[in-house]
Chain A
Amino acid sequence: MAERPLFDRLDETVDAIVGRRDATAALRDAELAPLARLAADLRHYPGAEFRARLRATLQRRTTMTTTAMNPAVREGFSTVTPYIRVPGEGLVAFLVQAFDATETFSTRGGGGGMHREVRIGDSMVMIGEGGDGGVMPVRPSAFHLFVADADVTYRRALAAGGTSLGEPADRPYGERSGFVADPFGNHWYIATPLGPRSVGHALRAVTPFLHAPDAAAYDEFLQRALGAVEEMRQDEGGEFRYARLRVGDAALELGTGEAMPGSYMLYVMDPDGSYAQALAAGARSVMPVSDEPYGRVGGVEDAVGNQWFFTRPPSASR
């Protein structure tokens, strides 16, 4: 029987190597064996596209690192600050009792309600109580909260009036966490990192956890609209599962699921430009850019329902 040509035998071997099938038969073919060994190594060849993509991501990240010392960010705050609207008093008391929050500022707002600011660990949260609240609706949202002992904080949150959404357990993503809804329906994923490489080490004490039914599409939107940089993404069976996005010196987490939209302040040097960029990406305006007592601000709402208020406080000089 005439021997099949070498290019055919090689191709059959490449098929087996790429398909993770047994290709050892090639090693018994003296002519083919050295090529088969090279082919096995080529399976580990890093794609040019991957290298270019990662390089571009790192370059964007370094640009953001350089701008992390953004003078538009209020002292003690980070680029993104959640603004939780509630119908009346009580959330601050819950946060103090459950999470050791400290109230740092309060004032009566233009709509008759109270504007409060609290610190939890290294993070700030703004709360609007009662009043007409302007364009921000009253609605619960979700947060990842990193603490020293998730079990202890979980019990304190229940004692403070929270409702359990899931008891503390070791999670496969490297943290021990329990889930609690506060008396106003906000979800708190109370977590303690389990290993040195848990995502918790890359996040602030309070990190907004966004959900979207089509989270992959929403991930792309956030990158276009906010200039967010995807730091980490996990897919499962080809389906989007989780992503971590960086915006300035803050992070957003994103998972697939029913949206719990919230409102967020973003400190930027150029609110007009950021507002225009978000509109161009497909968001709709809820507040045209204008000069307010607390700074120059413009707000948009995206398809998921999250609101983003681009703000340059008066303290930021241009």
Chain B
Amino acid sequence: MTHSIVDDRSLVQAAQQDPARFVDIYDRYVDRIYAFVSRRTGNRTDAEDITSQVFEQALRTIGQFEWRGVPISAWLFRIASNLIADHFRAQRRASDQALPELPDPGEVADIDRRLALFWHVERLPELQRRVIQLRFVEEKSIRDVATALERSEGAVKQLQLRALESLRKSMGQHG
């Protein structure tokens, strides 16, 4: 899940020549930036809103991005940090301690773990993946999930358990 600097450079050049290629940068980094923003804000709505702003700002300014050997992720993290700081200021939640622009080692470990987890969720059997989506993303109750999937509540609880056990096994193998 790491990418070479040479690849990053090609991505930037392609997007600077043809803005339509910006989605390649998006596809590669959206989960990483989302995981970072989500960790700092702890709130899904804010994480989605700020992640959107990060990529919109990046698209607007990609033309001015000067390649100096710094990975794209560092550039995106800096944009995200500034937006998070602005968000906290607007919410009057500014902490006394300024957060670093780039994720610290603890954050990097958390982000990497979550990226691996998200990757494994995408590879769960369809029904288990839908349970994860409905339960954790849409925050539906087990009863609502059961209705949506036309299964009994007991069956959904079993699916949820199987999904988590499968993820635990995959994550164990992963790292």
Query: What is A's interface to B at a CB cutoff of 8 Å?
Result: 6-8, 10-11, 14-15, 18, 34-35, 38-39, 41-51, 54-55, 57-59, 61-63, 65-66, 172-174, 195-197, 202, 231-232, 234
Give Cα distance in the complex from A2 to B53, angstroms.
Answer: 51
Kindly provide the distance from the CB of B24 to the nearest chain A CB, expressed in whole angstroms: 11
Asked if B157 is at the interface of the complex by the 8 Å CB criterion, the answer is yes
Is there an interface contact between A62 and B23, defined as CB atoms closer than 8 Å?
yes
Instruction: Known A38-B164, A47-B138, A63-B20; judge A173-B55 contact (CB<8 A).
Output: no
Chain A residues with CB under 8 A of B49: 234
**A62: chain B residues within 8 A (beta carbon):** 19-20, 22-23, 59
By beta carbon, the residue of chain A nearest B48 is A50
Q: Which residues of B contact A (CB under 8 A)?
A: 18-20, 22-23, 26-27, 30-31, 34-35, 38-39, 44, 47-49, 51-53, 55-56, 59-60, 82-83, 86, 89-90, 113-114, 117-118, 121, 132-133, 135-139, 141-142, 154, 157-158, 160-161, 164-165, 167-168, 171
14 contacts between A and B (CB under 8 A): A7-B157, A10-B157, A15-B141, A34-B168, A44-B34, A44-B47, A45-B121, A45-B133, A46-B35, A47-B48, A55-B30, A65-B19, A196-B86, A197-B86
Q: Binding site of A, secondary structure by majority: helix, strand, loop or mixed?
A: helix
Is there contact, CB below 8 Å, between B117 and A38?
yes
How long is the Cα–Cα vector from A221 to B112 in the complex, in angstroms? 41
Whether B164 pairs with A35 at a CB distance below 8 angstroms is yes
**Closest residue on chain B to residue A9 by CB atoms:** B161
Q: Which residues of A contact B117 (CB under 8 A)?
A: 38, 41-42, 45
Are A45 and B19 interface neighbours, CB within 8 A? no
Q: Is B121 touching A54 in the complex (CB atoms < 8 A)?
A: no
B60 touches A202 (CB 8 A): yes
Chain B minimum-CB-distance residue to A13: B164
Most buried by A among B20, B30, B157: B157
Given contacts A45-B136, A59-B20, A202-B60, whether A195 and B27 have CB atoms under 8 Å apart is no
Cβ 8 A contact of A57, one of B20, B52, B135:
B52
6 tightest Cβ-Cβ pairs between the two chains A and B: A47-B137, A62-B19, A7-B161, A197-B86, A7-B157, A44-B38
Indicate if the CB atoms of B90 and A18 lie closer than 8 Å: no
Is there an interface contact between B23 and A59, defined as CB atoms closer than 8 Å?
yes
Q: How far is the CB of A180 from chain B (nearest CB, A)?
A: 25
Inter-chain CA distance A42–B121, complex, in Å, is: 9
